Structure 1
Amino acid sequence: MPGHVFRKKTAAVCVGILLIPGLLSGCLADKPALAPEQAGDAGLLAYVTTDKARYSPGDPVKYTLSMNPSEEGGDVIIRYKHLDETVSESTVKWDGAAAEVQWEWKPESADYKGYMAEIYLRQGKEIVDHTNIAVDVSSDWGKFPRYGYLADFMTMDAGEQENTIERLNRFRINGIQFYDWQWKHHIPLKLDGDKPASQWPEIANRLVSYDTVKNYIDLAHSRNMKAMNYNLLFGAFEDAEQDGVKREWGLFKDPLLTSQDRHPLPESWASDIMLMNPANEEWQKYLFAKEKDAFKHLPFDGWHVDQLGDRGVLYDGNAGKLNLPETYVPFMNAAKKAIDVDYVMNAVGQFGQSYIAKTPVKFLYTEVWDAHPQYRNLKEIVDQNLKYSAGSLNTVFAAYMNYDHADSRGEFNTPGVLLTNAVIFASGGSHLELGENMLAKEYFPNRNLSIPDELETSLVSYYDFLTAYQNLLRDGTADKELDAAAAEGTELSAMPERGKVWSFAKEAQGRTMLHLINFTDATTMEWQDNKASQAEPKEIADIKLTVKADGKVKKVWTASPDHYGGSAVGLDFTQKDGELTVTLPKLKYWNMVVLEY
């Protein structure tokens, strides 16, 4: 955990200053302007966090800002913004010695809004430092999901768990998938009599501690994150008949029922996974009863339902041919009726997604595989999911980065990760990637690749951006036809192409957003960046854009997770005969240019 981004908790008592906005705030006339592009970088604002990853309307937001010492104190100025508009400001005095500055802010009561708190340090007449943090005010996490994971549940120190959850909190993660926490797929929680066992082996024979799982759930709840219990909808161990599972509930590869479908696993693991028929009501009754035991003893908020994709031709226990994705609907509806919790279901390579969209899921979740290798495919999946759900459900991708590179020890490739996140976020999706580490494989405990410091720092800005601008990125946002071009050497393209800047437009909240993603130096157009070879794009300066706007534009501004912590920056423009001209100061990976009418 790089120290310059995330601080570890200690037993020391920090000296702090607490401010309730309104006790100390006011006019900033005759003071230096708060322009993020003009702020210094003194390194005095060390780390900022809030007490929760998501807030219900009416909740106060509690900020903690860690400071590096300075001989000179100053004013910590906080500007709270919704999109590019300032909604309030406050100021905290800092003496230069206090290790922490704390304050509270109460957003307006409106639901489903993203905010950016821009934090500046003024010393004398100069703005010497600047940092940002986003805030999500949403009563339901499924509206704007930012999904993370946990995969290690051995006995561990409580402080290690706290650090992991604080890191995810800083990334604004609002839901966590508890991957392979369970004992057996057909009996997720091991019981000793009528009480949970203290520990059990999971399917890979790694030990799971009940106390670790329970403490992680409690820590997640303390940050207003949802804890999702992972399990297949149709998995049973090879010894399941000893536990009351009947073979005739299964899925079979032949009409004579001689070969039950199975998912083979390594010899050292506890079992292969035998596949059951999700539509079989006896199987549903059995599994739901076992899941109820898990929810009774562990306060999970929901069930992350997994599948295994296309299994080919299948038969049920009566030798009838089965359409597997059709069985998802009765299973999920019955599950919701039996266990009224939140549901998410994986569509492996989009398999069955059109059916899943008809079930009571919070959002659509796509695990992306070889059938969708290109950057353009990611946007196509978001668009397809919006059609499946009639625009009502957002998309989360399980998209594993640097996949082949993760066969051995190394680091994630920063340009590959950031370009893929730029495409996912600009398209209106989010990315399941962050947990104790970061995902490179479908087996979540794989930790062969470490996160370089520069990537960790950049990802904070990317997730702040996703949160602060959620109302433009994925709040009823729709594609829009927009004719745009660039002059003087930068070429825009309507589809992602090497050597060009991908340009596409969307509209929401009465605004048009032009997304620009920089592939001018790309070495591959495959999002997974399997060999970790994607090149870092050179920053392009002063891009002169011309846009055919279909109305009189009142204001133009831009924001990028690559610059100024995602702060919005106003742009001068001219408009004549329906053509708008504006100069974008710089483009690294991704910029969003917003036109307001």
Structure 2
Amino acid sequence: MIKKITYIFVACSLIFASCEDYYDTKNNPITYGDTYLNIGVTTDKAVYKPGETVHFTLKERPSGNLKVRYSHLGEVIKEENLSGTSWSWTAPSEDFRGYLVDIYETEGDGEKIYQSIAVDVSSDWTKFPRYGFLSSYGNISTDQITRNIETLSRYRINGIQFYDWMYDHHRPLAGTAENPLVSWPDLIGRPNYLSTVKGYIDAAHGRGMKAMFYNLAFGALSNAASDGVKEEWYIFRDANRSEKDNHHLDPPFRSSIYLTNPANPEWQAYLAARHKDVYSVFAFDGYHIDQLGNRGTVYDYDGNEVRLNETYAPFIAAMKQADPGKRLVMNAVSQYGQNHIARADVDFLYTEVWDESKTFEQLAQVILDNNAYSDNRKQTVLAAYINYARSNSSGYVNAPGVLLANAVIFSFGGAHLELGEHYLANEYFPNSNLQMKSDLRQDLIRYYDFLTAYQNLLRDGGTFASFEVKSADENIRVENWPASQGAVAVSGKKIGGKDVVHLINFSDTNSMDWRDTNGTQKEPATITDAEIIITVDNQVKNAWFASPDLNGGVSSTLDFTQVGNEITLTLPSLKYWDMIVLEY
């Protein structure tokens, strides 16, 4: 909506009372070394097709007999010796799978894990969208473009929204399809360059990522009449059409935005033609459709009331018919019109979350509602602006607010639009007042690796369920979702013969509002060696654990005892978010 690498871990002795009770996928004890602080691993793409070759690069190779291990949902599928700093792996032939690749060394009876990275093998990015953005297209160098895309790729971003890349909303391409301008002003007057937009698209495609151009469904600037936009296409604030509905913008914006009727067939044909010009010049993969939320009662040129929420499905259908090979996604501002959008021909759902959904519980409910609207067929991406009030001035993003929100979004199967050339804390995407400290950058790499590696548990079907979980320590409150301040919240799902139990640590929160608008959310104290009891339905064959906050998300088996329908196990640690998987 318009205004609108490295990992850091504490040494094992500081995290745990002892390390002997926690094991890797081969049931060997895990230890953690400081070497993990100084090396990084990257891949040449953000996503791969089945059977494609994955190229890895290790920034720095420590001495020792290193091995690389490839796992899917905690199960090792291959491991091999690692002799250099670059190697390749042929991705398995199965489509739509997430993998975790880790580098380790055997130490006595255990292992030291140095690094990990996720690999997404998916022929269609919209199956598991991880959406990023770009917002500045000045005359920047090829090297800077490459670095920005490489960074997004390392976060495993597989689709990019090109925000405010265009000229006028009603005529997004500056110049003509035959002779596009080399530069043009965006809505606020910033210079955009043809070479930069094209350079970003090419760089994204080189990394296996897709590029979506941003535009409103119904925007026209004050000069639109000279470009052929008719008065009969607009919507008005009264039945006598005395005032066009508009999104007022003061200078330095070049114009306010006047709203047309998305269901008007002539407007649809006009805009589709303008977008064909865009596609003839730029290799965009699709159209990110924006709206402006509930506009109240509005009217068409003839004085008929227009129910905007009902206009979006026919608009989407017209855009798809005009360019059937291009992808579509539409913003549902505060869920406005989402029940109609979800059943239209969009590839995933996108919600810009505002204060109608303030709490962590309401944030998760947006994802659950979207699942219901789409009959569980489409994924959800949330534009959810953390530290929003703080974004009005310069400073740093508050990491606890980001990580708690992401723990909720990711554990409920959603993704979060937040990463671009800078962190996104405001609906005007070029706003870069808040920067990430290095620790948060590293944390988010781990979180996005986790989202990718375990996507088949987090985002690939199953049934959300409640689990009865108790703590053996009376000082640790454990409660079923919804989240409660001062407690560990339990949520999860049943999928493929597994129970997936999520634990999110709200023990030290000072607010249950996800936005952490002033950046005051507290960092939770790490809970260590917590003994918990889970009520289960059947005999458990195997229990394992993974967390984006520990060991780069690498899974470890857990010892447990089962008496009747209760199993007892000990968590290695809980910082923000743990995932326990019980296999039957």
TM class, shorter-chain normalised? over 0.9
CA-to-partner distance for each residue in 1:411-446, whole Å, 9 max, x for gaps? 000111000000000011000000001100000000
How far apart, in 2, do the equivalents of 1:444 and 1:234 lie?
A: 19
Counterpart of 1:93 (choices 83, 86, 90) is: 83
The unaligned stretches of length 5 or more in structure 2 are 8-24
Letter in 2 for 1:84: G
- 1:299 and 2:289 equivalent? no
Aligned equivalent of 1:538: 525
How far apart, in 2, do the equivalents of 1:574 and 1:125 lie?
A: 23
Residue 477 (structure 1) shift: 2.8
Aligned equivalent of 2:41: 48
How far apart, in 2, do the equivalents of 1:56 and 1:364 lie?
A: 23
Q: Mapping of 1:128-147 within 5 angstroms? A: 130-147=114-131
1:502 is paired with a residue whose SS is: strand
Aligned equivalent of 1:523: 510
- 1:492 and 2:513 equivalent? no
Q: Mapping of 1:335-414 within 5 angstroms? A: 335-340=319-324, 341-414=326-399
1:172 is paired with a residue whose SS is: coil
Letter in 1 for 2:67: I
Does the aligned pair in 1 maintain the 2:29–2:109 contact within 8 Å? Answer: no
Residue 45 (structure 1) shift: 5.6
How far apart, in 2, do the equivalents of 1:554 and 1:417 lie?
A: 35
Aligned equivalent of 1:329: 313
Aligned equivalent of 2:186: 202
The unaligned stretches of length 5 or more in structure 1 are 6-31, 95-100
How far apart, in 1, do the equivalents of 2:269 and 2:211 lie?
A: 23
Aligned equivalent of 2:167: 183
Q: Mapping of 1:437-586 within 5 angstroms? A: 437-488=422-473, 489-494=475-480, 495-586=482-573
Aligned equivalent of 1:61: 54
1:189 is paired with a residue whose SS is: coil
1:248 is paired with a residue whose SS is: helix
1:503 is paired with a residue whose SS is: strand
1:208 is paired with a residue whose SS is: strand
Q: Which piece of structure 1 moves more, 43-52 or 530-539? A: 43-52
2:127 is paired with a residue whose SS is: coil
Residue 44 (structure 1) shift: 7.5
Residue 66 (structure 1) shift: 0.9
Closer, same or farther: CA 193–541 of 1 in aligned 2, 3 Å: closer
Aligned equivalent of 1:15: none
Does the aligned pair in 2 maintain the 1:45–1:130 contact within 8 Å? Answer: no
Q: What is the aligned residue count?
A: 561
Residue 248 (structure 1) shift: 1.1
How far apart, in 2, do the equivalents of 1:76 and 1:274 lie?
A: 61
2:144 is paired with a residue whose SS is: helix
Q: Which piece of structure 1 moves more, 85-94 or 270-279? A: 85-94
How far apart, in 2, do the equivalents of 1:478 and 1:208 lie?
A: 46
Counterpart of 2:98 (choices 76, 92, 114) is: 114
1:333 is paired with a residue whose SS is: helix
Aligned equivalent of 2:218: 234
Letter in 2 for 1:547: I
Letter in 2 for 1:375: F
Does the aligned pair in 1 maintain the 2:330–2:341 contact within 8 Å? Answer: yes
Letter in 2 for 1:478: T
How far apart, in 2, do the equivalents of 1:132 and 1:199 lie?
A: 42
How far apart, in 1, do the equivalents of 2:350 and 2:65 lie?
A: 44
Closer, same or farther: CA 129–503 of 1 in aligned 2, 3 Å: closer
Residue 35 (structure 1) shift: 5.3
Letter in 2 for 1:210: L
Aligned equivalent of 1:169: 153
Residue 562 (structure 1) shift: 0.2
How far apart, in 1, do the equivalents of 2:77 and 2:364 lie?
A: 32
Residue 406 (structure 1) shift: 1.2
1:304 is paired with a residue whose SS is: strand
Q: Mapping of 1:10-21 within 5 angstroms? A: none
Does the aligned pair in 1 maintain the 2:31–2:110 contact within 8 Å? Answer: no
Q: Percent identity of the aligned residues? A: 47
Indicate the RMSD between aligned Cα atoms, in angstroms: 1.8
Counterpart of 1:427 (choices 409, 412, 418) is: 412
How far apart, in 1, do the equivalents of 2:204 and 2:559 lie?
A: 44
2:126 is paired with a residue whose SS is: coil
How far apart, in 2, do the equivalents of 1:37 and 1:343 lie?
A: 45
1:318 is paired with a residue whose SS is: coil
Q: Which piece of structure 1 moves more, 435-444 or 504-513? A: 504-513
Does the aligned pair in 1 maintain the 2:70–2:101 contact within 8 Å? Answer: yes
- 1:82 and 2:72 equivalent? yes
Does the aligned pair in 2 maintain the 1:44–1:129 contact within 8 Å? Answer: no
CA-to-partner distance for each residue in 1:51-95, whole Å, 9 max, x for gaps? 110111111111111106x6xx3333110000110000111224x
